[in-house]
Structure 1
Amino acid sequence: MTLASTALFGGILLASGAGHAQQTIEGAGLTITTTPTIASDYSFRGMSQTRNRPAAQLTLDVEHSSGLYVGAFVSNVAFAGTNARQEVDLNAGYRFELAGVKLDLGATYYAYPGYDAPTGGYELNFYEFALRASYEIAPLKFVGLAAVSPDFTGESGLGVYLEGGVDVTLDYGFTIGGRYGYQWVERNFATPGRNEGAFGAEDYANVSLFVSREIIGGVTGTLSGVFTSLDQRQDCFGGSKVCDNRVIFTLSRTF
């Protein structure tokens, strides 16, 4: 069984036992949250990780009353020219509030179990440090993200990502929002004669717009439009379609 099917199966089990899926262990000060998700595509910073195909995902978060937390995320992936089929992310950090701003200082390790680098290829695994922030003035919620990887995916060197956005709560349970992000990578393309990894695309901007609402029984539906600044035929990993502008539909349930 792949990790993707495990995530989907886990989501079905969680849905069938919704009253017990979230647990607050008061004696230990722990809150455990699980979120199964089914999506028409897995988009990471504007790029499809499944080549515009559906994804089954599961997120786990364990937070202590002190603000310390650990978590995990699993999803199926499909990268052209590789045998990568699943992604497992492990993260840990500290959440706190300062002058009304909610902050999350953490680190994530992105792993692709079962992946074997092809001849002349490089590792996909990488780790990243990130600072997330949010500030709410109802009905607006402002969010930001700054992430730094010492050696980004594909052994492409220093990677820096910045993102900002806003969510707006509307009547009848609707939320709309948008995000603008920009990804910088030290080595965008391989240099002939040098044994160094590379990302495979230019630095790029990405924009996402979404509308979401609870549909039934705590299940939230989200419709998103995703756009990047990359020319799909020239700049996107040798003509790959993972940078296409596209519409994504997601169903999720947080327990």
Structure 2
Amino acid sequence: MTLPRISAGRHAATAALAAAVWLASATPVLAQAPADAADAAVHSFSANLALASDYRYRGLSQSSGRPAIQGGFDYSHASGFYLGNWNSSISWLGDSHPDVSAPIEMDFYGGYRHAFGDSGWSTDVGVLQYYYPGSYPDRYTSPDTTELYAGIGYGPVTLKYSYAPTNLFGLADSRHSWYADLSANVPLGFWGLTLNAHVGYQKVQVAEASYADWKLGLTKDLGHGFALALAYLDTNADRAVYTSAKGRYLGRATVWGSLSKTF
């Protein structure tokens, strides 16, 4: 996530791990088949890989308008509890200071989801830790960020609120910032297309740093776990605040695309 880096709904190893887990669970062991089937109903593992034209988070570019490689894995329990990790290549930290080397974002999260029968209503609560391994100069504000989140959904529509008890993505004195996200992912019923719409508002506890972002796009199911996404993204982020040290405005409107694979 890029906030004023000026003072600013997932890699191959995780996919390999998830594939190994999948292969191990798929190996037929006839004597244990009933137990394995019951276990599979309780525990679920998945992995994902993606190539995106730009890593955009809350409307802001994390990779300076360049392609990003992303991937992660997820575990979920039949009770509703889940854990996961998601990773992406980034460049905003290196762009912010010549002595910073931090090319990867690693996200770790866990929470609980619950669906209220066939009513269409659901809830999701959890915690998300953004971690940026690398080397930083002395007195550089850590970009590592913790957020608590809670969401409620009805059918294809979700409203989510995220709150940061820590500084927000390396911005000093930004504790208690929050983000509100209203999203809809509506299957269109033809050609395997899903309509994706989103509007969000990032409140930052620093003058002139708050902004809104929005998105409208389509996702095409290509089969066999592949999906192609195309969207228009934009923000009203203050250009004076969200321009990188290299002179690139990170909130500019763009047409964005990605190719992803789930396992």
TM-score w.r.t. the length of structure 2 is: 0.79
Q: Counterpart of 2:148 in structure 1: which amino acid?
A: F
Q: Counterpart of 2:177 in structure 1: which amino acid?
A: G
Q: Is the strand fraction higher in 1 or 2?
A: 1
Query: How far apart are 1:106 and its partner, in Å?
Result: 0.6
2:107–2:131 contact (8 Å) kept in structure 1: yes
Structure 2 counterpart of 1:248, from 244, 251, 256: 256
2:54–2:256 contact (8 Å) kept in structure 1: yes
> In 2 relative to 1, CA 14–217 (structure 1 residues): closer, same or farther, beyond 3 Å?
farther
Q: Could you tell me how far apart the structure 2 residues matched to 1:22 and 1:56 are?
A: 27
Query: How far apart are 1:134 and its partner, in Å?
Result: 2.2
1:213–1:222 contact (8 Å) kept in structure 2: yes
Aligned to 1:166: 184
- Structure 1 window deviating more from structure 2 (220-229 vs 165-174): it is 165-174
Aligned to 2:58: 45
1:22–1:31 contact (8 Å) kept in structure 2: no
Aligned to 1:75: 88
Query: How far apart are 1:120 and its partner, in Å?
Result: 4.7
Query: How far apart are 1:77 and its partner, in Å?
Result: 0.7
Structure 1 moving runs of 4+ over 6 Å: 14-19, 21-25
Identity of aligned residues (%): 28
Q: Could you tell me how far apart the structure 1 residues matched to 2:230 and 2:183 are?
A: 16
Q: Could you tell me how far apart the structure 1 residues matched to 2:37 and 2:87 are?
A: 24
Q: How does 1:63-142 map to 2 (within 5 A)?
A: 63-79=76-92, 80=95, 81=97, 82-98=100-116, 100-116=120-136, 118-136=137-155, 141-142=156-157
Query: How far apart are 1:16 and its partner, in Å?
Result: 8.6
Q: Is the helix fraction higher in 1 or 2?
A: 2
Structure 1 counterpart of 2:169, from 132, 153, 165: 153
Q: Counterpart of 1:57 in structure 2: which amino acid?
A: Q
Structure 2 counterpart of 1:184, from 195, 199, 203: 203
Q: Cα RMSD between the aligned structures? A: 2.6
TM-score w.r.t. the length of structure 1 is: 0.81
Unmatched runs of 5 consecutive residues or more in structure 1: 1-6, 189-200
Query: How far apart are 1:173 and its partner, in Å?
Result: 1.1
Q: Could you tell me how far apart the structure 1 residues matched to 2:241 and 2:25 are?
A: 43
Q: Counterpart of 2:242 in structure 1: which amino acid?
A: C
